[in-house]
Amino acid sequence: MSQLSIAPATRPLRGTVVVPGDKSITHRALILGALAHGQTRITGYSRGEDCLNTLAVIRGLGINVQEIPTGLDVTGKGLWGLTESSNVLDCGNSGTGLRLLAGMLAGQKFFSVLTGDASLRSRPMGRVVKPLRQMGATISGRQGGDLAPIAIQGQELQSITYESPVASAQIKSCILLAGIFAKGTTTVKEPMKSRDHSERLFTYLEIPLQVDDCTVQITGLQSFVGKPIAVPGDISAAAFFLVAGSVVPGSELLLTGIGLNPERTGILDVLLGMGADIAILNTRDESGEPVGDLRVRATTLSGTTIGPELIPKTIDELPILCVAAALAEGETRITGAQELRVKETDRIHAMAVELARIGVVVEEQLDGLIIQGDSTLRGAVCKSYGDHRVVMSLAIAGLVGKEPIVIEDVDCVETSFPGFHSKLLDLLTNSK
């Protein structure tokens, strides 16, 4: 069992930060690159284990992917160019990978089995299996298909209109990918708009798509051609340094090339509302996504309210926002976040337990947390729950405590942010 010990910072964090490529966009770029005709060159892609597992699955389905100095060259074979794998397709820890791949494989003319690690095998898959079955897919799995491994016998699919009970980019994207192989027009309606990386990439690749607020429609059986895809820095990875730069006294960081998709910038909305000193610089557009640089300087934060309307835009950043809340002045309330209970772990419970362990006054609610700020953080040995975002959030807390925080079982950080600890150390060294 690996451990990470983070001692209180004795100097500010200073320097330029380059974070890994966006995981969500990397998954989608690999899948669409495989289905395109011709070459798709992907630069800036995430080298975290989650995306490398999706890459391995794509290769296992007969797609040639070459590593080059600047990224990946994916040689797509069109909608029907994939081949049946003789092996089970392992998605590791990635719910995004498994759910999106299920959408792609539902319309293929062969048999596939998707699985993952113990954490992924405990996460709900029925939310994508249900609409795929409505489209005509034949899918079986544990608990009636609600848990992986799931077996998919590809079929000729029919278009549907699906009203998703939750705002989820994974559900929406799964159905849209299946919709590529369906006759007619497939429609997905959400109660609130979720992140739209799929829609932007579909549009960039000229896949027929219509978007009207919370409703997306795709016309199936339309081939498309590969294009170069530049993957921006992952704002979910940047979030840890935005909070660190805000709470470690005297710090100033520049985060370059960060994706600023408006459905993902809830972290900026919340932190700016708490009084953070963050400037957005050098904005531009790359492969259909808005991108920019972020400069953050240390300042005093204030407590806030994060309600249901912000949850889709902050769902992955809520663990680190809990740390910001613990160090802010006053109380922070998070509500409407029950989706956190079905992530890599139950993140509501995990953050409540571990924050309390390091001295934060916190109350766990059914759909969120109430966190009292102005906390003096004490040293402790903390659990990771096998969740990369819990590890990195607790590591940032360790920078501003009175004693070191030791986090157990931290190998899971490799799923999204290889080299996270060394990057933190580099920023501390730069301030000497």
Domain end marker among 213, 230, 247? 230
Any catalytic annotation for residue 22? no
pLDDT exceeding 90 applies to what percent of the chain? 91
Q: 424 pLDDT band (50/70/90 cuts)? A: confident
Do 202 and 261 lie in one domain? The reply is no
Do 219 and 289 lie in one domain? The reply is no
Do 260 and 336 lie in one domain? The reply is yes
Work out the widest C-alpha separation in the chain, in whole angstroms: 63
Domain that holds residue 15: 3-21+232-430
Whether the predicted pLDDT of 1 surpasses 60? no
Question: Which has the closest alpha carbon to 225: 420, 29, 40?
Answer: 40
Please give the average per-residue pLDDT across 244-267, as a whole number.
96
Q: Could you tell me the CATH number of the domain that includes residue 401?
A: 3.65.10.10
Do 159 and 268 lie in one domain? The reply is no
Please give the average per-residue pLDDT across 166-189, as a whole number.
96
Whether the predicted pLDDT of 410 surpasses 80? yes
- Give residue-wise pLDDT tens across range 260-299: 999 999 999 999 999 999 999 999 999 999 999 999 999 9
In this prediction, residue 358 carries a pLDDT of 97
Domain end marker among 230, 253, 273? 230
CA distances to 30, 208, 240, 323 from 203, in Å: 16, 7, 31, 37
With beta carbons less than 8 A apart as the criterion, state whether 155 and 107 touch.
Answer: yes
In this prediction, residue 132 carries a pLDDT of 98
CA distance 382 to 373: 20
Question: What's CA 326's distance to the chain center, in Å?
Answer: 23
Q: 431 pLDDT band (50/70/90 cuts)? A: low
Catalytic residue among 277, 316, 374, 387: 316
Question: Which has the closest alpha carbon to 82: 114, 115, 58?
Answer: 58
Whether the predicted pLDDT of 429 surpasses 80? no
Do 321 and 389 lie in one domain? The reply is yes
In 10 A of CB 214, how many CB atoms?
16
Do 80 and 224 lie in one domain? The reply is yes
Whether the predicted pLDDT of 430 surpasses 70? no
Do 67 and 204 lie in one domain? The reply is yes
With beta carbons less than 8 A apart as the criterion, state whether 144 and 125 touch.
Answer: no
Domain end marker among 230, 250, 284? 230
Identify the sign of the CA torsion 243, 244, 248, 249: negative
CA distance 32 to 63: 11
Do 219 and 245 lie in one domain? The reply is no
Domain tally, the chain: 2
- Give residue-wise pLDDT tens across range 61-106: 999 999 999 999 999 999 999 999 999 999 999 999 999 999 999 9
Do 17 and 100 lie in one domain? The reply is no
In 10 A of CB 262, how many CB atoms?
13
Do 293 and 218 lie in one domain? The reply is no
In this prediction, residue 60 carries a pLDDT of 98
Do 340 and 215 lie in one domain? The reply is no
Do 296 and 419 lie in one domain? The reply is yes
In 10 A of CB 283, how many CB atoms?
10
The single residue listed with the structure tokens 């772990």 is: 345
- Give residue-wise pLDDT tens across range 23-61: 999 999 999 999 999 999 999 999 999 999 999 999 999
